[in-house]
Amino acid sequence: MKRSNLYILLAVAALIGAVLYFALRSPNKTAVAVAKPVTEDAHGHVAIKEVELNEAQYTASGIALGGFTMKNLSDVVNANGYTELPPQNQADVSVHLQGVVQSINVIEGQLVKKGQLLATIESPEFAKLQEAYLTSKSNLEYLTLEYDRQKTLSDENVNSKKVYQRTKSDFEIEKARFNSLQKQLSLLNISKAGATSTMPIISPIAGYITQVNIKIGSNAEVGKPLFSVIDNSKLHVDLLVYEKDLQKVKHGQNIRFTLTNQDNLEINGKVFNVSKAFENETKSVAVHADIANNNQALIPGMYVNALIDVGVKQVEALPVDAVVRAEGREFIFVLEEGHEEEEAGHDHEAEEHEHEGKMFHFQRIEVKTGTTQLGYVQVTLLQKIDADAQIVLKGAYYIQSHLVKSEGGGGHEH
């Protein structure tokens, strides 16, 4: 009887032990990253930690990988300014004679070619101008023949000089009138062949329509712009440089600038002119720079933050988003290539992660930062990494947040 009770007690104990074992060894299904502190390095800096993300987490986080970029961050002059267009690449389209708008062929934002028809306006004055031109042309033809005839007679002393001089005067007056009317019709783009009451409005340059100031039936007045056209192909940057930095800036120096609210997109350029006078009442001088990679969606008036390279000292740099700060230190994350779970006792973890797809392992590396300019920061490694290591350029704070969550919420240590 006692032996039977002993067997029962042993069976119950074994059952309880099995339940506790499986309960304790079962991983937390809600954990999304695994923090793996490693032993300190030879200098006793900080324990290297690893973060594990599954494929879905990696994709959703928008992580971008890359390497160091050589940047000049110290031998530079900081400047702010705007994108500008020279006046010869901007045009206001107006009329020389008043009329009523008959048709409009373009809309704002439309790309037009030089000489393209923008609109037509109507006025009886245009027909009168053509009539005067055709009348003058007929008179000139008659006076040309008469002038030639009188000149021949004068040379032969058949007629008086007075008649010849009067004929010559009439010829010269009509010729001047004809040339004037011809130029007026050419200026107004009106045909010289026949009478018409309409006049075409054409674009003087190629570019984009930025303003349409008329509508059908409105009065087109002399001197008031009907359309505005700009050609952004010659867009450049005007930077304001203060007096203390003026002697450092020279023609031909490279510039780098970013646009406000444009995700730190860096655009390059080159200084082509330095103004010789202060702007308004400020102690700053305008520095004009061409845009080298002008394939961006740039328009006049965009605010820019720029660096003018006045030296050649370059350092290894990363985007500021690549560096995270934690525990009073600075870190970057590096993707571990060919990582496999090889440690004994971890087969169950690999099996349970199979349904999650490919796993990504990141190692946290301590660094020291220096100068920060235009969204980039100088970075010095405090731990050695491979020359071709894939560094997390974007999404480092996402990885760090999972590291903190794992350490505080049941992450695994090895």
Look at residues 262, 291, 312 and tell me which one is the last residue of a structural domain: 312
Residue 146's CATH number: 2.40.50.100
Q: Which of 23, 14, 45 is nearest to 328 (CA)?
A: 45
Q: Where are the alpha helices (DSSP H) in 293-357?
A: 347-353
The reply to whether 95 and 222 lie within a common domain is yes
Give the three-class secondary structure for 388.
coil
CA distance 256 to 243: 20
What is the pLDDT at residue 406?
A: 66
Q: Where is the domain boundary, 230, 257, 280?
A: 230
Tell whether 38 and 169 lie within a shared domain: no
Q: pLDDT averaged over the chain?
A: 80
Asked if the structure places residue 2 within a domain, the reply is no
Q: What pLDDT, on a 0 to 100 scale, did the predictor assign at position 414?
A: 35
Is residue 160 pLDDT above 60, yes or no? yes
The token pair that represents 23 in the structure block: 């309960």
| 185 pLDDT tier (thresholds 50, 70, 90) | confident
- pLDDT, tens digit, 9 for 90 and up, residues 78-134: 889 999 999 999 999 999 888 999 999 999 999 999 999 999 999 888 888 888 888
Among 52-56, 270-274, 371-375, 401-405, which is the least confidently predicted range?
Answer: 401-405
* DSSP state for residue 292 in the 8-state scheme: S
7-61 pLDDT, tens digit each:
666 666 666 666 555 555 544 433 344 444 444 444 444 556 888 888 888 888 8
How confident is the model at residue 32, as a pLDDT?
A: 40
Asked whether residue 399 falls in the same domain as residue 339, the answer is yes
Least confident window among 38-52, 156-170, 232-246: 38-52
| Average pLDDT for 322-351 | 68
Same domain, yes or no: 287 and 337: no
Q: Please report the pLDDT score of residue 409 as a whole number.
A: 45
Q: What is the pLDDT of residue 407?
A: 62
Domain shared by 251 and 161, yes or no: no
Confidence bin at 413 (pLDDT 50/70/90)? very low
CA 321 to chain centre: 20
pLDDT at residue 236, rounded to an integer: 92
Say which CATH number the domain at 392 has: 2.40.420.20
Domain region containing 81: 76-85+235-312
Q: Which residues pair with 259 in a beta bridge?
A: 304
Separation CA 54–CA 85 (nearest Å): 49
Q: Is residue 17 part of a domain?
A: no
Contacts of 107 (CB under 8 A, 6+ apart): 209, 212
Q: What is the tens place of the pLDDT at every residue in 191-204?
A: 777 677 788 999 99
The reply to whether 15 falls in a domain is: no
The count of structural domains within the chain is 3
Q: How many CB atoms lie within 10 A of CB 279?
A: 13
> Which DSSP category does 356 fall into?
G
Asked whether the predicted pLDDT for residue 6 surpasses 70, the reply is no
Task: Please tell me the distance from the alpha carbon of residue 379 to that of residue 334, in angstroms, as a whole number.
Answer: 14
Burial of 247 (0-12, 13-18, 19+ CB in 10 A): exposed
Cα separation, 357 vs 369, whole angstroms:
35
* pLDDT, greater one: 260 or 2: 260
State yes or no: pLDDT of 361 exceeds 70. yes
Encoded tokens for 134: 């055709």
Interior/surface letters 215-229, b for 16+ CB within 10 angstroms, e for the rest: eeeeebeeeeebbbb
Question: In this structure, what CATH number is given to the domain that contains residue 263?
Answer: 2.40.30.170
Higher pLDDT, 44 or 290: 290
Does residue 342 share a domain with residue 211?
no
Look up the pTM and report it: 0.58
Phi first, then psi, for residue 344 (nearest 5°) are: -65, 145
- Domain assignment of residue 11, yes or no: no
Lowest mean pLDDT among 4-13, 142-151, 311-320: 4-13
Last residue of a domain, one of 199, 230, 261: 230
**In a domain? residue 265:** yes
Does residue 18 lie in a domain region? no
Distance CA(121)–CA(93), nearest Å, equals 13
Do 200 and 222 fall into the same domain? yes
Q: What whole-number distance in Å separates Cα of residue 215 and Cα of residue 102?
A: 9
**CA distances for 96 relative to 199, 217, 222, 224, 226, angstroms:** 11, 18, 5, 10, 12
Place of tokens 């349409």: 212
Looking at the structure, tell me whether residues 220 and 107 fall in a common domain: yes
Q: In this model, does residue 68 exceed pLDDT 60? A: yes
Which pLDDT value is given to residue 31?
A: 36
